[in-house]
Structure 1
Amino acid sequence: MKCNLQVPPRAHHCNICQSCILKRHHHCYLVGKCIGFKNQRYFIVLAFYSVIVSFWGLYLTVVYLRDKWWHTATWSDAILPMTILRCLFGNITAHVTILVFHCYMWAMFGPIAMVYFISQILLIFKGLTLYELAKNVPVRNTASVSKNFQSVFGDFWALNFIIPAQILFRQKEDGCSWNSVKIIQNPPKDVHHHCQIL
């Protein structure tokens, strides 16, 4: 189906992908695709485990540095530019420099992943997408919170965070018809030329 024909109610155009995406949330540069109906559950689980891995990695790296290196270091050695400079002059090993860099990486990546995870969960609670929220699309969702989670993750939605459950528990909707979602008025349509619905 071409975009310049009739599209499902929650399909929106992405100028980067040059496609219309069912239940489009946003274009994710990290994964190189739009997050929408078909891959939102994977994105949320990725964000969830990224939070866990980032903070656990930060904890383990800090404990290692504290036990093996900190007793010979000064507080300024933990400031990344100083760490790199001292490594270049041979005062700190490359191994320690990489670990200090990892601390900064974990400390930056963990909160970013947490923001994505929490925002996605809050949007599921409301039954909205990030696109609909950002573009102020007048959507009213009458489904329960449980139904909203089943719409994204399928039955037994919490299992998605423990095991890959997408094969066993498919999504309830087809991405084209939304019985419990009403668009109060027609939002302004984007002009779409020669792109396909994904």
Structure 2
Amino acid sequence: MNQKSDSIDQALQEIHDFLPCATPKQWIDNALANQDLMLIDHAHCEKKAASTALSLMYRYVDNSDLLNKMSRLAREELRHFEQVLAIIDKRNITYCHLTPARYAAGLRKEVRTDDPGRLVDVMVVGAIIEARSCERFAAVVPYLDKELAGFYSSLLKSEARHYRDYLALAVQANQGPVDDRVADFLTIEKQLILEPDSEFRFHSGPVV
């Protein structure tokens, strides 16, 4: 096994240890049965991630570490958006508006309203979303066609780094460990991932 594979395997193990549960097999089955929808929603997720990073840069202009990390993240997420869009176009899928999953909103409703608590919580939520995205890419890769499997595999390293960047910024904003807040949000995340959903989305629960 080469060094790159070792690095990705290590990052995935770290993320599996961090998350409260694995993606249910039913969601994987849903994804395979709705690959066009998965790609469309994935594109929306990448665009939203870039938008979130940019909004943080506008809000926290005096935090140079945040500015640098979010600038890089926004560029990468927009590049991923372009790559997903190219696959969508190549496959003659119509890119369209979708209602968002309840996942991100379910996590963000517990974010505190005043800083520094707000920034800590936003960073923790960002870390969880990036970690789950990475875990889901890895979960579906073995079942996808060669092109899509290769693309999703290529995203694992950057998603894992985004998770670490968000978590590091949370610790910085809190001026210390954030284990308690992470535990609180992971409890919510587990419920959102395991409870059935009415519509399939990249971050939905299983649709039975």
Settle same-fold status: TM greater than 0.5. Answer: no
TM tier relative to shorter chain: under 0.3
Q: When you count helix as a share of all residues, which structure comes out higher?
A: 2
Q: Which structure carries more strand by proportion? A: 1
TM-score, scaled relative to structure 2: 0.27
- Normalization by structure 1: what TM-score? 0.28
